[in-house]
Amino acid sequence: MTTAPATIQDGVVVLFEYTLSDDKGNIIETSDEVGVQAYLHGSGNVVAGLERQLAGHKTGDAFTVTVAPDEGYGFPDDSAPEPVLLTDLPAEIEEGMPIFAELEDGSDIELWIQSIDGEHAMLSQNHPLAGVTLTFDVEIKGLRAATESELTHRHAHGIDGTETHGDEAPDAPGENGVQNSVRNGILDVGDDTVH
């Protein structure tokens, strides 16, 4: 049996609860809605400012982290949102949802559903929280060593390490599969493809 790491450091899977608020104190999201979250520290799975300030904490720590836009979701750029027909997008979209466009060179760009109106969705390159100072109230619920599979895939495979993509069998209990993908469908937009 592996001993749990004592503190948050690279290669450690962190189990935590949180409440995220904006710079006006409005609650944006809370783990009360989704349960304890898991991420692999040092792999960029959470915003940079949060990850940096979590380092060194241990199970049971409860604290507040403030993250400026430059270490959060960046600053908004000046590009105008682009309209895309709803019929060209995956069926289950919501405002604020990310989708991915494949560019001509094969690289991906993340876009955000800014609004949905009539027959169109407005897609923006700006994250909905771009320019916002974020406040995370965090409680560390547990730490565990990452498995080789998690280190290879660069993300946690769920709370107990048994989540899979659905197209592969889970590893033995206590080992890790692959976490569900966030990509939703595929769409051709001109010379680009939106997932």
Residue 27 is part of a domain; what is its CATH number?
Answer: 3.10.50.40
| Residue 29 sits in the same domain as residue 121 | no
Q: Which domain holds residue 136?
A: 12-73+130-146
Residue 162 falls inside a structural domain: no
How would residue 1 be classed by pLDDT, with cut points 50, 70 and 90? low
Residue 17 falls inside a structural domain: yes
If we measure between CA atoms, which residue out of 91, 120, 58, 101 comes closest to residue 192?
101
| Residue 24 sits in the same domain as residue 89 | no
| Residue 138 sits in the same domain as residue 53 | yes
Residue 38 falls inside a structural domain: yes
Residue 137 falls inside a structural domain: yes
With H, G, I as helix, E, B as strand and everything else as coil, classify residue 96.
Answer: coil
User: Is the pLDDT reported for residue 189 higher than 70?
Assistant: no
How far apart CA 94 and CA 146 sit, in angstroms, is 33
| Helix (H) / strand (E) containing 15 | strand 12-21
Q: Which amino acid is at 102?
A: E
| Residue 116 sits in the same domain as residue 134 | no
User: Is the pLDDT reported for residue 185 higher than 90?
Assistant: no
| Residue 69 sits in the same domain as residue 112 | no
| Residue 116 sits in the same domain as residue 137 | no
Residue 5 falls inside a structural domain: no
| Residue 57 sits in the same domain as residue 140 | yes
Residue 63 falls inside a structural domain: yes
Percent of the chain with pLDDT over 70: 82
Residue 53 falls inside a structural domain: yes
Q: What's the domain count of the chain?
A: 2
Q: Which of 11-15, 149-153, 163-167 has the lowest mean pLDDT?
A: 163-167
User: Is the pLDDT reported for residue 173 higher than 60?
Assistant: no
